[in-house]
Amino acid sequence: MKMQINGKAVESYSGEFFDIINPATGELIDQVPKGTEYDVEIAVEAASSAFNCWASTSPQQRARILYTAAGVVRQRKDELAILLTREQGKPFAESKNEIEGFANVLEYYCGLVSSFHGDFIPVPQNGYSFTIKKPLGVCAAIIPWNMPALIMAWKISPALIAGNTLVLKPASNTPLTNLTLASILSEAGLPPGVINIVTGPGEVVGESLVKNPQVKKISFTGEARTGKRVAELAAGGMKRVTLELGGSDPMIVCDDANLETAVSGALRGRFYNCGQTCTAVKRLFVFESVAEEFIKKLEASIRNLRVGNGLHENIDMGPLNNCRQREYIKELVADVEEKDEGRIVAGGRVPEGSAYSRGYFFEPTLVVDVQRESRLLKEEVFGPVLPVVQVKNLEEAIEEANNTCYGLGASIWTKNIDRVRTGCEQLNAGIIWINQHLKVAPEVPFGGAGESGIGKENGPDALSEYLDLKALMLKI
């Protein structure tokens, strides 16, 4: 597949390509161009040339185009989901969910099309004041590999509805769904240059996008370490940034929780997308009084998870997306064993058998009695390993839960309204779930505190991230 610049499928000026590998089979799926700084310049130029025309297109017309594209995405849902599973690894049902999520987000922002306007503000001494909202210009979107379609929607929908143009850099492991979605947008009527996609290494394509003086805003999703680099580069041009970074979400199971529901929540919260979700349950704190029963049920459920190629029937969990990610997870588990910092009661190994021999599989893993100093509690565990820690009460659980540099999501499982209130007030997180974990919706603001990032995606607030607010003061 080729890059997309100014409405055309193009190769890179480097003339080079890189491989896209199926993480379940190790097979080559496709090759995409290895973009360069020069390709980024051309793409930004195209987005810049398209800006005035797109910004002056009526918001209703912009919405009509995006709405048409969402309809096509729904019609082609199965085909897109197969492509997503082939490049990313997640089970087909999860891919379908993600593709539907793409269409939902696009349609949600189409619905907000009449809502972003300025205000009239009366001021003392016969003055009048107005505010107007204008698009920013060329925006950059940098996407990770864990949820490439959904995160593309989170960025492009508010940006385009607000009248901005875009250059998007997909993750190097998962560019194919992003490229296909962009061509659907073009076929739905998006004028050339309004969305451009440059594939290639983050250090080259990502950095030159962030540094380009014509780029006014960067929306980045990825690791905290990369986010800091992006923020550093963006500061040089005093650019606006939205940074959606890592998380180490705690799940707190109180003694009055419905344990069956909590087990299902932990299962989905941790092992959905093979544990590679920013808001996955990465640390589980359970009250001592119910720990034994809860862990027994959880262990049984984890052992029942069916691991395999996401395109095969009845698969609950696919492979990790890439070799580096699996090596990291193996290293973390080996570290726990070596230092005796926890007890592995389920999984912990690469599964055996020919079905697993060429993919990046790892067993769904449960580690209990995890020691406070373990890397499992200190680092972002981006894979299918669930560490469980026993706590005496809610106070201790919240203290442990907040003992991280991240603040993305958190959940509390209880029937007690006082505990709910305490959790909501004291947990340091951008999103707090009660008796559930992981759910997101286009209407609800999403974004973290601390090293989980800056700014929000989803909801009406995300539109403000792509609009410039100007004040006018009149004396008549």
Task: Closer to ligand NAP by CB, 118 or 202: give it.
Answer: 202
Q: Which is nearer to ligand NAP, 225 or 392 (CB)?
A: 225
Segment interacting with ligand NAP (CB under 6 A) among 88-96, 124-132, 146-154, 331-339 = 146-154
Cβ(339)–Cβ(351) under 8 Å? no
**Min separation Cβ 403 and ligand NAP, Å:** 18
Among 71, 201, 445, 460, binds ligand NAP (CB under 6 A): 201
* Closest to ligand NAP by CB, 390 or 452: 452
Q: Is 139 a catalytic residue?
A: no
**Calpha distance 135→63 (Å, rounded):** 15
* Residues 128 and 122: beta-carbon distance below 8 Å: yes
Q: Which of residues 343-402 bind ligand NAP (CB under 6 A)?
A: 380, 382
Q: Which is nearer to ligand NAP, 265 or 448 (CB)?
A: 448
How near is the Cβ of 205 to ligand NAP at its closest, in Å?
Answer: 7
Sole window of 71-79, 352-360, 396-404, 447-455 interacting with ligand NAP (rule: CB under 6 A): 447-455
92, 145, 271, 362: which one binds ligand NAP (CB under 6 A): 145
255 binds ligand NAP (CB under 6 A): no
For ligand NAP, give the closer residue by CB, 423 or 430. 430
CB 219 within 8 Å of CB 139: yes
Interaction residues for ligand NAP, span 161-190 (CB under 6 A): 169, 171-172
The CA-atom distances, in angstroms, between 375 and each of 121, 345, 382 are 53, 18, 12
Residue 269 near ligand NAP by CB under 6 A: no
Contact 401/410 with Cβ under 8 angstroms? Answer: yes
Of 121-140, binders to ligand NAP (CB under 6 A) are: none
Closest by Cα among 216, 166, 213 to 192: 166
In the complex with ligand NAP, which residue's Cβ is closer, 423 or 455? 455
408 binds ligand NAP (CB under 6 A): yes
Complex with ligand NAP: residue 226 or 404, whichever CB lies closer: 226
Which residues inside 218-247 make contact with ligand NAP, applying CB under 6 A? 221-223, 226, 229-230, 244-247
Among the listed ranges 18-26, 201-209, 307-315, 387-395, the one in contact with ligand NAP (CB under 6 A) is 201-209
Please confirm, yes or no, whether 207 is among the known catalytic residues.
Answer: no
**Interacting stretch for ligand NAP, rule CB under 6 A, among 122-130, 195-203, 259-267, 286-294?**
195-203
Residue 194: HSE in the Cβ half-sphere, 13 Å Cα cutoff: 28
Tally DSSP H helices, then E strands, for the chain: 15, 22
Per rule CB under 6 A, is residue 431 in the interface with ligand NAP? no
Print the binding letters for residues 272-291 with ligand NAP: x by CB under 6 A, - otherwise.
------x-------------
Count of alpha carbons within 13 Å of 47, Cβ hemisphere only? 32
- Across 277-315, b (16+ Cβ under 10 Å) vs e yields bbbbbbbbbbbeebbeebbebbbebbeebebbbbbeeeb
Tell me the C-alpha distance between 20 and 346, whole Å: 32
DSSP string, 164-204: -EEEEE--TT-HHHHHHHHHHHHHTTPPTTSEEE--S-III
Q: Please list the residues that pair with 469 across neighbouring strands.
A: 133
> Of the listed 94, 107, 207, 244, which one is catalytic?
244
The answer for residues whose C-beta is within 8 angstroms of residue 68's C-beta and 6 or more apart is: 188, 189
**In 100-160, where do the E strands start and end?**
120-123, 127-135, 138-142
Q: What CA–CA distance (Å, rounded) separates 105 from 155?
A: 10
Binding mask 79-118 for ligand NAP (x = CB under 6 A): ----------------------------------------
Is residue 202 a contact residue for ligand NAP (CB under 6 A)? Answer: yes
How many residues belong to the site for ligand NAP (CB under 6 A)? Answer: 33
Q: Which of 278, 341, 457, 465 is catalytic?
A: 278
By CB under 6 A, residue 143 contacts ligand NAP:
yes
| CA distances from residue 449 to 57, 101, 328, 444 in whole angstroms, order as listed | 36, 24, 25, 16
> Between the CA of residue 222 and those of 88, 246, 361, 382, 393, what are the distances in Å?
15, 7, 22, 12, 34
User: Roughly how many angstroms between the first and final C-alpha of the chain, as a whole number?
Assistant: 59
Catalytically annotated residues: 244, 278
Q: Which residues would be at the binding site for ligand NAP (CB under 6 A)?
A: 142-147, 151, 169, 171-172, 201-203, 206-207, 210, 221-223, 226, 229-230, 244-247, 278, 380, 382, 408, 448, 452-453
